[in-house]
A = this chain, B = another copy of it.
């Protein structure tokens, strides 16, 4: 990926600005690829993320604030996001009996099955995106990301 070529500039970009732009460009590319990988399943990245969190609960229901806490990209509207998953039959929703303010959300067997397929697609997409990077480089990259 050549930054200057992509944004079609001949100017020398200051290192800090270039770094930020570079990162945004990479992020855009990754998002595009991931969105494409999930397209056959009709779910967004956020929805996929929520399904994974729910699976991680291992049978234990999660409420909306827990989901929101654990999401990679927080969005203000977990209610409507779960609506979508509910419509697809991937989750169940019920009022928590011990605290009726809370909503318990559980992944369904259908959701789990679909999620397994999505995992494969995402894993392939990840491999594709990171194909030029060695393990050492990945480690190095993660260390640098930690500095943000």
Contact = CB atoms under 8 A, between A and B. Distances in A.
A71 interface: yes
A27 B56 CA distance: 24
Quickly give the copy total for this chain. 2
Nearest to A24: B72
Given A2-B146, A69-B8, A71-B7, A138 B25 contact: no
Given A69-B8, A148-B29, A138 B23 contact: no
Contacts of A146: 1-2, 22
Interface residues of A, number: 49
Interface in A13-64: 15-30, 34, 56
A70 B145 CA distance: 26
A117 interface: no
Interface stretch (A85-93, A97-105, A126-134): A126-134
Given A17-B126, A20-B126, A9 B142 contact: no
A139 B15 contact: yes
B148 A26 contact: yes
A77 interface: no
A73 B1 contact: no
8 contacts: A1-B145, A1-B146, A1-B147, A15-B135, A20-B130, A26-B145, A130-B148, A133-B144
